[in-house]
């Protein structure tokens, strides 16, 4: 390309920090795809925190004089204040957050700013920033999960004794307490919450470009200052891998999956066909042409937004796949994926909390769904009754299959069949079977650990209340 | 939730168009996850184009008077001008681009604005907007591919006769002309370009919420006005499916995959180890600590950004999977995915063009890689020579395997082995075999269709020059 | 590794066709991951078809004598017969289907078998095999889609006039004919079917390893013999790309997505809560402990199996991403992905057909869901009525929002509100509004193209019957 | 469907355990998609282990008599023996491994076999089987990782002092010890190995279909017998979630990603252009037409097979997304995904070990790549030298950029430039700079934690030797 051609295309003027050896500016197309400041400025807190620790350490080991360190720290505080106040002005040559902070620092404190990058590289710097960010991100999301769990506990404390069908294959299966269903979600979220942390207790700062540095840096000092247990053990691994990001986003995908399932249940429960629940006005939306509509958009988006998180996870794995060890620019694509996943999940947690905080259950419709004679939801009880009389489970299962057919033919519930039909299908039946054929019996005799009895529900809710209060 | 609690949480004040039946505003968490204006305002052109066609049609069939249509069209022109000028001001209740345009139109033209939404719904409106958008998006991206193809043709016209290794398994395999390699990419991109179109020649407008409308609308008229061949045949299908988006993004993923491969080749070619090519300063980047570095960031991002496109594709499929027919809010997640894929691919096309326009090849290093005695790149020629003497291919293959071992042992090229070694490995060998053992012969005897001979390269380049000029 | 160590690990004895230059066998771990015969033997028909065309062509251009060609063709016929009969015995050194066929051919016909591989490579051979396979695969799947479409037409002909709710957000929205819903699926499947084809009208055979060949082969002849329009134009592109596979699997993903949605609807419709449909015994499953269960496993698997297809698509794209041009072994992973996607989709089509062929609809429950007073499904009709009286749509929408609130408060349907409530909410209302507030009117006045009126349904079904019969 | 039609379609004869209430057999299409025995028979050990614990517990709580328990345990031992010997014969009605084991058990021990399914369901049974399987799977894979780590340690002990370029952006950056690179992989694999475990310390057995059971089962007893810390706390959560599978496969994806990177490095190192390494014959493959080829197929498949694992991960998340709580048949798709991922990763670990055990490094070529004058790999050293003289890093960076340009112009290495050029670019330079400009100095002065100095490499290898030996 001739200079004239390049000028025509209008390369970005660039008297930046990195291009001293090159003639001319950067091609605008490269600049557009390469410049990450718009995305990674979100790391400003972590970047400045890392620079602070680095500067102090350089002072401690004698690479910088104490006065220089002080000037740098003061300058960094000013840069941080600008970001916090939203007054930071980025320049075209601020390729990323690291260059932007250093450039501004140098404007503010002069020559000392140019000395900060001693004994480090953007490669270890961004790895450190990211790890710090992931730590905070995990903490924020875990707190959001806790809020939803607490909301579920409160809801279950209020309405947990209501009875509804438990479904398998979306077919009514057995009676269950609403509180037991909500506790199911609390348990799932607990697993999710436990995973929302980073394994990264090792600090990459000081790995340099990837081979370490010739300066006598004290990596234990920076690691400790930034809250890590110790420095990473291998400089190459430190700059090459984004596994921490993939692991955390994989944990986010678990949480998002749980919320997507809650969303699916809310959509069903709020349908006229189920009619179990009604979302409040503030968490419902209307239709542009159907004045009667009350749409559970939030619940639908719980289902759909989970794909944003799994999509981000896919990108994080694929972006790293088959990259040779060492830093490659491909790794820059980590941050948009992490941020997208975090934003989607944070929105999901908020809206789940909002919906669960403004929902009414219709206990009558729920119980009616259980007692609907055509549902035969007590069939398991009849089979279990036989088994308790010494009949083998398979024989009991088959006999009750016959009972259901008989009841279906007559259009009645099992418990409305006359005893002689019972006996004709299995001679062990007697009149006490009707005692087992009650919703409340079905529910409250399930008292083994994890069963749906209302005493279980109550004791689990007490336990959760304590657990969550103690967090 | 009590009113006090809700107020504490600060619901969004909303005197919008859709919530007449609800009391109070929308919960901020729902608003955040639900409101799509920030994303879908990108559809303003298409939304207004659709509204224009709809208004004219309502006039033609007598639902609106001519004067009202005129006022609406004038108002829409004003709204469009505001968007074009960047002066459009959205309000909190502008849930999406459709409501924003209608709200502003009503502010500008009064009562008539409230009549525009007759005989349509946001469901058919957004389906129409999206289809119009995809049409333009496909056109823009296909044009971008053509630019890269033309750049490759120009490069091949300049340097196409240079010889380099063809690789399989990243092992040197046979000599090939650089022009032939570049033509390989041109062909791949041609398949990609041919796929960058939408199948959507049917217009969804008039499908209403999903069952049609009771107004006597003329769907052929709006379809034709918007450049479609005909209206869709089923109103439910019209509003339920986002397959067009998935299909186009799948085509984008093909293009992105091709570019990712070009990126991988550029990274290799620009490495010191290959040393085949050097990117110009304007399309290279430097290092924050290593002053000697000349990094091909653009090429690396061609590899990495392809994951953005495949990630978006995954989201589009998964978002639709297992949704019952009809409109569900989940479908709103289509637009971020499409836009993200488009932006990534557009950047990739631009940077590919920029790099290919500022690259120098090192013909000497390329030829040296072919003639490196330890590469044995002419082994196939020796085998083929035997086959032409009537030896079976498998026998020839085995004999030449022996030749390679012999040459390896002596540390020489095949053509530097004495004839008696040849003969000892197969009696059919005679001195004329050395004629076949030349790079130029290997290259230029591959004249069957698609072969790498330089005459083939030249004629293909002439053909492509014509094809691309005619677009 | 010493020889002893290697022996300990027990390398596979290998006197195969490719290892002449190497000493010792292949490491069993490499053999396990590398050998693809178990998977790609599924290509035996295509591989032999390609070899036939290649042999005939080699005869026509004089590379092989006629008698040799005849012997090869006879031998290939025998190999094909062995595969067809299930009597083909593969050996450990049969690395893939290509080597297996050639090895067995040589056993059967002797020396001539070793001559078949003249002027071709496994690289162009597998590309040709795959393209032939994809063509057949697309045809088979498209035929399967047609079967499901015909089944839907038959079902709609039988029950298409039944009335049911149309849903948006899984909320009842407007009345719709069951036939219209089924036609929605027929339309979606038509788009899917139209995409189930390969673009590959170019034949890769003759591209050799990737640079063509020095033999005077006639690529037009083989292309034509194998049913392609012409040979590929660039040998490198021919062996490097698996885009055809990705494109076809992307089309499969569209079909799978449509079927997953049908599955979701069937699961809902068969739930006791909806109660619209009942699957026959032969397409229902039972429970291991609940004797009353009738589970729609097939419909659930329509939802779940779609992830197999999208997963395969992801693999096809990612496997190719960032591969340099030329053949890399990575491409071998194409076939498991294609076969897995095909098998999943074929099973899905079969089970969808089976379920739709053994389903009963409950017209009474469906109509009851529409006429349920609490559903307000005629609200749009009231709004449209006002608009036809000259009221603006937004004003009408708001007034009817008020009507719904009034009806909700009294617990009645819209049409059961007294006229004065109507008038109090909008003065334009008069008694004729009650004529519009009927299910049948709502349905049958939607007569514009694509609307749900039963006359539309009938004419569309007639059209589809003709279209499908003509295929 | 009429009986005749069904007969025509040939339903599967089924006198199985679950269909008592249904008339006729199961449709073959449903059977094909539904029957999972072919896949889940892989769980036979876990299924029988679970049944043993369940039977013993039923005995302990008095639901079964001791003698019956004994007969069941003996029968289960016989069934296990059949599976172990490969003599188990499955029948068409063996829908899955659970039904197959129970059916065979009943054949062997009669009536008692029918009593085993008391107080459990397939829902809790499969959740338990899967969790047990995942535990073993994680253990096997972690052991495989350890083997690869040990192999890397051995390799580094042998060749770890060789010097090679460290790359960023695939551009030569700084000298590094091969041992440091291998240690980088050891570290990455250590993170991966640490993640290869299951969190599942809770036993789902006893959750029944999802609400618990009315029998007085002792879940602590079965949990403990199966090696779990405790029973799950909520029966619904127990049967609804496959998060454990997703989490483990996510960890597998991390390992697979690391191995894919190792594969990418091996492909590069074994290329003629890099020429750093040569794989032994037993782990190399040949070409069907190019006798000279030595292809690193195993390394390429490390890259490609990783997509199988990430594809499986995607399926596991998507299959669960938006499923309502409770058991849905969709969850059956968990096992093929887990098994596919495990098989791919196990093959990858094996082949990585095989390749690393049969590789030679070319220390001369590696060192030559570092000392290549055109690489300027000591530029950082020059900059650091200036910084140690008090020059700010940015000023030093710029000065050395000038040095590189000057050296490039003259075509010499930095250290071959005369001192006056140094001084002209920065006055602080003096002759002692040449001491810093040595490969060995660059390497061995990087002694801070994680740096590439050979003393660091040695001590890290000693540490790893101990760590791995202690496992």
Strand segments, DSSP code E, in C253-396 are 277-279, 359-361
Catalytic residue chosen out of the listed positions C271, C287, C374, C459: C287
Helix H, strand E, coil C: the string for A121-164 is CHHHHHHHHHHHHHHHHHHHHHHHHHHHHHHHHHHHHHHCCCEE
Contact C369 A272 (CB under 8 A): yes
Residue D8 banded pLDDT, cuts 50, 70, 90: very low
Helix H, strand E, coil C: the string for C282-294 is HHCECCCCCCCCC
Instruction: Compute the average pLDDT of residues D38-51.
Output: 97
Tally helices (H) and strands (E) across chain D.
Answer: 20, 6
Distance CA B178, CA B166 (A): 9
β C163-168/C171-177 pair status: antiparallel
Residue D20 banded pLDDT, cuts 50, 70, 90: low
- C213 contacts B448 by C-beta, under 8 angstroms: yes
> If you count them, how many residues does chain B have?
471
CA B450 to chain centre: 25
Position A185 pLDDT exceeds 80: yes
β C171-177/C277-279 pair status: unpaired
- Count of alpha carbons within 13 Å of A180, Cβ hemisphere only? 33
Least confident span in A67-76, B343-352, C403-412 = C403-412
Contact C184 B217 (CB under 8 A): no
Instruction: Compute the average pLDDT of residues C98-117.
Output: 96
Distance CA B426, CA B420 (A): 10
Phi/psi for D163 (5° steps) reads: -105, 140
Percent over 90 (pLDDT), chain A: 88
b/e code B31-63 from CB counts within 10 Å (16+ = b): bbbbbbbebbbbbbebbbbbbbbbbbbbbeeeb
In this structure, what token pair is assigned to residue B270?
């620009």
Position C11 pLDDT exceeds 80: no
Contact B30 A319 (CB under 8 A): no
β A230-231/A277-279 pair status: unpaired
- B370 contacts B413 by C-beta, under 8 angstroms: no
Position A420 pLDDT exceeds 60: yes
Instruction: Compute the average pLDDT of residues A244-259.
Output: 98
Distance CA C231, CA C206 (A): 8
Contact C206 B268 (CB under 8 A): no
Partners of residue B451 in chain C, C-beta under 8 Å:
208, 211-213, 235
Residue D373 banded pLDDT, cuts 50, 70, 90: confident
Contact C282 D18 (CB under 8 A): no
C324 vs D: CB within 8 A: no
State the Rg of chain B over Cα: 31
CA-nearest of A295, A309, A297, A294 to A258 is A309
Q: What is the pLDDT of residues B153-199, one digit of tens each?
A: 999 999 999 999 999 999 999 999 999 999 999 999 999 999 999 97
Q: Best of B292, B297, B386, B437 to disrupt the D interface by mutation (most D CBs within 10 Å)?
A: B292
Instruction: Compute the average pLDDT of residues B250-275.
Output: 98
* Mean pLDDT estimate for chain D: 93
Residue A287 banded pLDDT, cuts 50, 70, 90: confident
**pLDDT for res B436:** 92
Strand segments, DSSP code E, in A402-441 are none
With a CB cutoff of 8 Å and minimum separation 6, the contacts of D364 are: none
Instruction: Compute the average pLDDT of residues A168-176.
Output: 96
Q: What is the pLDDT of residues C48-73, one digit of tens each?
A: 999 999 999 999 999 999 999 999 99
Instruction: Compute the average pLDDT of residues A336-357.
Output: 98
> If you count them, how many residues does chain A have?
471
CA C358 to chain centre: 22
Position B373 pLDDT exceeds 90: no
CA D313 to chain B, closest CA, distance in angstroms equals 13
Interface of C with B in 273-292 (CB under 8 A): none
Contact B304 A319 (CB under 8 A): yes
Active site residue D169: yes
The string of DSSP letters for A177-229 reads EHHHHHHHHHHHHHHHHHH-S----EE-TT-TTTT--SS---HHHHHHHTT-S
Distance CA C305, CA D318 (A): 10
Mark out the alpha helices in C393-453 (DSSP H runs): 393-410, 419-425, 433-436, 439-444
Phi/psi for A277 (5° steps) reads: -140, 160
Q: CA–CA distance from C432 to each of C372, C379, C438, C441, D373 (Å)?
A: 22, 15, 12, 13, 95
Least confident span in A176-185, B156-165, C277-286 = C277-286
- A419 contacts A438 by C-beta, under 8 angstroms: no
**pLDDT for res B430:** 96
Interface of C with D in 20-39 (CB under 8 A): 20-27, 29-30, 32-34
With a CB cutoff of 8 Å and minimum separation 6, the contacts of D224 are: none
β C277-279/C359-361 pair status: antiparallel
The number of C-beta contacts closer than 8 angstroms across A and D is 378
State the Rg of chain A over Cα: 31
**pLDDT for res A5:** 41
Q: What is the pLDDT of residues A205-239, one digit of tens each?
A: 999 999 999 999 999 999 999 999 999 999 999 99
- Count of alpha carbons within 13 Å of A18, Cβ hemisphere only? 24
Between B294 and A66, the higher pLDDT residue = A66
β B163-168/B171-177 pair status: antiparallel
CA-nearest of D145, D357, D341 to C11 is D357
State the Rg of chain D over Cα: 31
Instruction: Compute the average pLDDT of residues D360-378.
Output: 93
Position B379 pLDDT exceeds 50: yes
Contact A372 C171 (CB under 8 A): no
Residue D14 banded pLDDT, cuts 50, 70, 90: very low
C151 vs D: CB within 8 A: no
- A116 contacts A54 by C-beta, under 8 angstroms: yes
**pLDDT for res B18:** 62
Percent over 70 (pLDDT), chain A: 95
The greatest distance separating any two alpha carbons of chain B, rounded to the nearest whole angstrom, comes to 101
- A252 contacts A141 by C-beta, under 8 angstroms: yes
- A241 contacts A185 by C-beta, under 8 angstroms: no
Q: CA–CA distance from A110 to each of A113, A121, B287, C295, D394 (Å)?
A: 6, 20, 22, 74, 12
- D210 contacts A168 by C-beta, under 8 angstroms: yes
D1 vs C: CB within 8 A: yes
Cα angle A263, A267, A269; round to 5: 110
Partners of residue C122 in chain D, C-beta under 8 Å:
288-289
Interface of C with B in 152-171 (CB under 8 A): 166-170
In this structure, what token pair is assigned to residue B314?
């995954």
In this structure, what token pair is assigned to residue C446?
């939607």
CA C234 to chain B, closest CA, distance in angstroms equals 4
**pLDDT for res D25:** 86
Position D3 pLDDT exceeds 70: no
- D218 contacts D61 by C-beta, under 8 angstroms: yes
**pLDDT for res A11:** 42
CA-nearest of B290, B376, B338 to B132 is B338
Distance CA D360, CA D158 (A): 10
Phi/psi for B202 (5° steps) reads: -115, 135
- B254 contacts B188 by C-beta, under 8 angstroms: no
Distance CA D113, CA A372 (A): 34
Position C145 pLDDT exceeds 70: yes
Position B11 pLDDT exceeds 50: no
Q: What is the pLDDT of residues D184-228, one digit of tens each?
A: 999 999 999 999 999 779 999 999 999 999 999 999 999 999 999
Q: CA–CA distance from A140 to each of A147, A342, B209, B392, D250 (Å)?
A: 11, 10, 39, 70, 22
Instruction: Compute the average pLDDT of residues B198-226.
Output: 95
Choose from A289-298, C336-345, D387-396 the range with maximum mean pLDDT: C336-345
Residue A292 banded pLDDT, cuts 50, 70, 90: confident
Distance CA C247, CA B191 (A): 11
Residue of C nearest to D22 (CA): C281
In this structure, what token pair is assigned to residue B307?
């994951």
Instruction: Compute the average pLDDT of residues B403-420.
Output: 92
Residue of C nearest to D351 (CA): C29
- A316 contacts A249 by C-beta, under 8 angstroms: yes
Instruction: Compute the average pLDDT of residues B389-415.
Output: 91
Instruction: Compute the average pLDDT of residues B11-27.
Output: 62
DSSP state of A13: P
Q: CA–CA distance from A448 to each of C287, D203, D212, D331 (Å)?
A: 22, 13, 7, 25
Contact C20 D209 (CB under 8 A): no
Return the sign of the alpha-carbon dihedral for residues B419, B420, B422, B423.
positive
* Distance from the first to the final alpha carbon of chain D: 63
Residue of B nearest to D275 (CA): B273
């Amino acid at each position: 390309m001739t200079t004239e051609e390049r000028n025509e295309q209008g390369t970005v003027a660039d008297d930046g920090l990195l291009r001293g050896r090159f003639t001319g500016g950067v091609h605008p197309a490269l600049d557009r795809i390469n410049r990450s400041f718009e995305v990674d400025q979100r790391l400003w807190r972590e970047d400045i925190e890392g620079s602070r620790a680095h500067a102090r350490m350089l002072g401690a080991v004698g690479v910088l004089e104490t006065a220089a360190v002080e000037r740098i720290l003061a300058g960094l505080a000013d840069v941080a204040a600008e970001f916090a106040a939203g007054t930071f002005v980025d320049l075209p040559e601020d390729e990323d957050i690291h260059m932007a902070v250093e450039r501004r620092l140098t404007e503010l404190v002069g020559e000392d700013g140019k000395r900060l990058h001693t004994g480090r590289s953007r490669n270890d710097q961004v790895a450190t920033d990211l790890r710090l960010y992931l730590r905070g991100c995990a903490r924020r999301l875990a707190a959001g999960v806790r809020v939803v769990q607490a909301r579920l506990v409160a809801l279950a404390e209020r309405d947990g004794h209501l009875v509804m069908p438990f479904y398998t294959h979306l077919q009514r299966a057995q009676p269950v307490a609403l509180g037991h269903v909500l506790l199911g979600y609390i348990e799932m979220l607990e697993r999710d919450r436990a995973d929302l942390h980073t394994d990264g207790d090792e600090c990459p700062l000081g790995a340099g470009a990837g081979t370490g540095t010739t300066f006598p840096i004290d990596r234990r000092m920076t690691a400790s200052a930034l809250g890590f247990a110790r420095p990473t053990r291998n400089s190459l691994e430190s700059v090459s891998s984004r596994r921490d990001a993939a692991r955390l986003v994989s944990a986010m995908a678990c949480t998002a999956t749980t919320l997507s399932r809650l969303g699916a249940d809310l959509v069903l429960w709020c349908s006229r066909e189920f009619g179990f629940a009604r979302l409040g006005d503030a968490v419902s939306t209307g239709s542009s042409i159907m004045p009667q509509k009350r749409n559970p958009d939030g619940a639908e988006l719980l289902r759909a937004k989970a794909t944003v998180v799994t999509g981000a996870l896919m990108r994080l794995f694929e972006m790293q796949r088959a990259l040779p060890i060492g830093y490659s620019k491909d790794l820059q694509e980590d941050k948009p994926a992490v941020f997208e996943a975090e934003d989607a999940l944070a929105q999901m947690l908020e809206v789940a909390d909002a919906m669960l905080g403004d929902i009414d259950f219709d206990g009558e419709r729920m119980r009616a769904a259980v007692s609907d004679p055509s549902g035969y939801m007590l069939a398991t009880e009849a089979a279990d009754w036989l088994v308790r009389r010494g009949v083998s489970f398979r024989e009991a299962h088959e006999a009750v299959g016959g009972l259901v057919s008989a009841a279906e033919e007559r259009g009645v519930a099992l418990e409305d069949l006359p005893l002689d039909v019972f006996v004709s299908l299995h001679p062990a039946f007697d009149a006490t079977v009707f005692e087992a054929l009650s919703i409340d019996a079905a529910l409250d005799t399930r008292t083994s650990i994890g069963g749906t009895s209302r005493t279980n529900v109550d004791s689990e809710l007490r336990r959760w209340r304590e657990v969550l209060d103690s967090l």
